[in-house]
């Protein structure tokens, strides 16, 4: 019986969940561009050009000749790659049109204005963690609820519905499901989001989704609004939740690095960038060449798919003279492609950064003796999904120091 398949561009070393697999470094060191086989429940297994160097990653992700490659077919079964409104399914003018409708909600200024709300959410989850007591699962009590509550607030989604959309998000990001499971899962997502859209059509709420309906609803179909809502709901909580869990687990195993995050507020922004670079939780979606072109003199043929290994591109030794395979939260921030690059760069990256900057220092300040409640080798990492994270993270602390 075969085990779960890992994406070859996100393969991690055995027993070292934060380290790229040796074969990724081998691909990066080779001047040739290699083709790899990529498993996908929606596209089937396909061949793709693997891009592993940082400069190559930036180049291809910013190249208009590489397109998302998914065609919206109303007669085909509805999947995430065949859903109107999902920005990942658009290119060029249409992509810019939809993205412009959403970008106002994620500007640096807008996100700064959300900080008090984020701090309140974090404080409530710290209190919940203390109430749960030593042995609590940090993923369930802290890491997942924070971005979930924030995105619920932004989109006007009742927080009581969180369990359902978290489950559906995890299914949607699991490369080891079947196409049939993905189709059923998206049907559930669409049905849920349709009720929210209908409510906003009747009376747009004072939130991001309500604002899109109020300002642009006359330009958008219900199907497009459903796709937009699903995309924001999944992207708005799943990757940040995974990063919070993975970042906390990593710091708990590196106490000197943790102390910097906990004790030096001025170092927080740089520390979060280093954690984002090092953990690289999300993989890139495949692109498809709209025409033949060349990368470093090597041909990528029209119709070929291309995948970028964010994980190993972030460790490219051409980026720095330092050891990029060692976590160093004091490091002068190193460029990374954790949020992608180019036209499809993550829309909510500033929100994710803000949540991480608030949550991680607050966690370690509230619980100065926080520690893993299981041996490091027993932490259950999620290494075969589209988003790397931790399934369960039991933690412990000295109760007297948490109050």
Q: Is residue 1 part of a domain?
A: no
Which pLDDT band holds residue 2 (cuts at 50, 70, 90)? Answer: low
In angstroms, the CA 45 to CA 267 distance is 43
Q: What is the pLDDT of residues 78-136, one digit of tens each?
A: 877 778 888 888 999 999 999 999 998 888 998 999 999 999 999 999 999 999 999 99
Q: Is residue 358 part of a domain?
A: yes
Which pLDDT band holds residue 17 (cuts at 50, 70, 90)? Answer: very high
In angstroms, the CA 60 to CA 130 distance is 46
Q: Residue 135: left if φ>0, alpha if ψ -120 to 50, beta else—which one?
A: left
Q: How many structural domains are present in the chain?
A: 1
Amino acid 160: pLDDT: 77
Q: What is the pLDDT of residues 145-172, one digit of tens each?
A: 899 889 888 888 777 787 777 777 777 7
Percent above pLDDT 90 for the chain: 64
Q: Is residue 3 part of a domain?
A: no
- 300 forms bridges with which residues in the sheet? 293
**pLDDT at 1 > cutoff 50:** no
Residue 380 phi/psi, 5-degree rounding, is -95, 95
Angstrom CA distances, 250 to 9, 35, 275, stand at 21, 32, 9
Q: Is residue 204 part of a domain?
A: yes
CB atoms within 10 A of CB 377: 6
Amino acid 236: pLDDT: 75
Which pLDDT band holds residue 290 (cuts at 50, 70, 90)? Answer: very high
**Segment among 156-160, 206-210, 331-335, 381-385 with least mean pLDDT:** 156-160
Amino acid 3: pLDDT: 57
In angstroms, the CA 212 to CA 227 distance is 13
CATH number of the domain to which 358 belongs:
1.10.630.10
Mean pLDDT of 206-218: 90
Residue 57's domain comprises 8-401
Amino acid 93: pLDDT: 92
**pLDDT at 70 > cutoff 70:** no
Q: Is residue 345 part of a domain?
A: yes
Mean pLDDT of 321-327: 94
- Residue that is written with structure tokens 């989604």 in the block: 157
Buried-exposed string 24-51: b where 16+ CB fall within 10 A, e elsewhere: bbebbeeeebeebebbbbbbeeeebbbb
Buried-exposed string 146-181: b where 16+ CB fall within 10 A, e elsewhere: bbbbbbbbbbbbeeeebeebbebbbbbbbbebeeee
In angstroms, the CA 44 to CA 305 distance is 13
Mean pLDDT of 249-253: 98
**Segment among 163-167, 202-206, 255-259 with least mean pLDDT:** 163-167
What is the average pLDDT value for the chain, to the nearest integer? Answer: 90
- Any idea of the CA torsion for 277, 281, 286, 292, to the nearest 10 degrees? 10
CB atoms within 10 A of CB 359: 27
Higher pLDDT, 89 or 272: 272
E strands, 290-362, in order: 293-295, 298-300, 305-308
Question: How deeply is 207 buried, as exposed, middle or buried, from its count of CB atoms within 10 A (0-12, 13-18, 19+)?
Answer: middle
- Residue that is written with structure tokens 């692109």 in the block: 287
**Segment among 4-8, 89-93, 196-200, 296-300 with least mean pLDDT:** 4-8
In angstroms, the CA 197 to CA 203 distance is 10
Contact 148, 351 (CB under 8 A): no
Torsion sign (Cα): 293, 294, 298, 303: negative
Q: Is residue 2 part of a domain?
A: no
In angstroms, the CA 161 to CA 159 distance is 5
Contact 358, 115 (CB under 8 A): yes
Q: What is the pLDDT of residues 329-374, one digit of tens each?
A: 999 989 999 999 999 999 999 999 999 999 999 999 999 999 999 9
**pLDDT at 400 > cutoff 80:** no
């Amino acid at each position: 019986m075969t085990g779960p398949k890992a994406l070859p561009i996100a393969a991690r070393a055995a027993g070292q969940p934060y380290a790229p697999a040796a074969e990724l470094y081998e691909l990066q060191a080779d001047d040739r561009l290699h083709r790899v086989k990529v498993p996908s429940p929606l596209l089937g297994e396909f061949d793709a050009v693997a891009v592993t160097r940082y400069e190559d990653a930036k180049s291809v992700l910013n190249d208009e000749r590489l397109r998302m490659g998914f065609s919206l077919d109303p007669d085909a079964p509805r999947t995430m790659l065949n859903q109107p409104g999902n920005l990942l399914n658009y290119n060029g003018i249409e992509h810019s049109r939809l993205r412009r409708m959403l970008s106002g909600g994620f500007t640096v200024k807008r996100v700064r204005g959300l900080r008090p709300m984020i701090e309140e959410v974090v404080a409530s989850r710290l209190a919940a963690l203390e109430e749960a007591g030593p042995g609590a699962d940090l993923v369930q009590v802290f890491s997942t609820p924070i971005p979930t509550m924030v995105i619920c607030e932004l989109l006007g989604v009742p927080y009581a519905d969180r369990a359902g959309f978290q489950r559906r998000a995890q299914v949607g990001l699991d490369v080891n499901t079947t196409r049939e499971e993905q189709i059923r899962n998206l049907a559930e997502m669409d049905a849920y989001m349709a009720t929210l859209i209908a409510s906003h059509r009747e009376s747009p709420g004072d939130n991001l989704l309500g604002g899109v309906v109020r300002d642009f609803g006359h330009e958008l179909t219900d199907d497009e609004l459903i796709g937009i809502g699903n995309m924001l709901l999944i992207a708005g909580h799943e990757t940040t939740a995974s990063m919070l869990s993975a970042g906390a687990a990593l710091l708990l195993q590196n106490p000197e690095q943790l102390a910097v995050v906990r004790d030096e507020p001025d170092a927080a922004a740089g520390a979060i960038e280093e954690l984002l670079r090092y953990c690289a939780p999300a993989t890139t979606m495949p692109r498809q060449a709209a025409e033949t072109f060349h990368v470093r003199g090597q041909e990528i043929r029209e119709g070929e798919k291309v995948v970028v290994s964010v994980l190993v591109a972030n460790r490219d030794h051409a980026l720095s003279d330092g050891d990029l395979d060692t976590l160093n939260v004091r490091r002068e921030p190193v460029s990374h492609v954790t949020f992608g690059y180019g036209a499809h760069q993550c829309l909510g990256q500033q929100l994710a950064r803000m949540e991480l900057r608030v949550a991680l220092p607050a966690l370690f300040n509230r619980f100065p003796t926080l520690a893993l409640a299981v041996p490091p080798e027993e932490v259950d990492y999620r290494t075969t999904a589209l988003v790397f994270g931790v399934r369960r993270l039991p933690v412990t602390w000295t109760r007297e120091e948490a109050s």
